[in-house]
Structure 1
């Protein structure tokens, strides 16, 4: 199981996501980033940052 905390990228955000794999994390986090933070494009740099902060639980 994988876990990602949005607050690790966007200070003050309490959203966390869990999924079986990284693809599942991105499937949840990308719509959240667009709706809650106005991030409409996941740049390669942002993707790399998120991947580096996904943990195995």
Structure 2
């Protein structure tokens, strides 16, 4: 199981995500970024920030 807290990248955001693998987290985060943060396209640098903060849960 993998976990990620959006607030680790976007201060003040309280959303957290869990999935069986990194791809599952990234899919959820991309949808959240679009719906809640207005990012239709997630920049590669942001994807790398997310990847670096995904933890084993």
Query: Do the structures match in fold with TM over 0.5?
Result: yes
TM-score by length of 1: 0.93
RMSD (Å), alpha carbons? 0.7
Q: Please list the CA deviations of residues 13-53 of structure 1 after superposition, one character each: whole Å capped at 9, or x if unmatched.
A: 11000000000001111110111011111111111110000
Q: Which runs of 5+ in 1 are unaligned?
A: none
Structure 1 residue runs of 4+, over 3 Å off?
none
Q: Distance in 1 between matches of 2:30 and 2:48?
A: 13
What is the TM-score when the length of structure 2 is the normalising length? 0.93
List alignment gaps of at least 5 residues for structure 2: none
Report how many aligned residue pairs link the two structures. Answer: 57
Deviation at residue 10 of structure 1 after TM alignment: 0.9
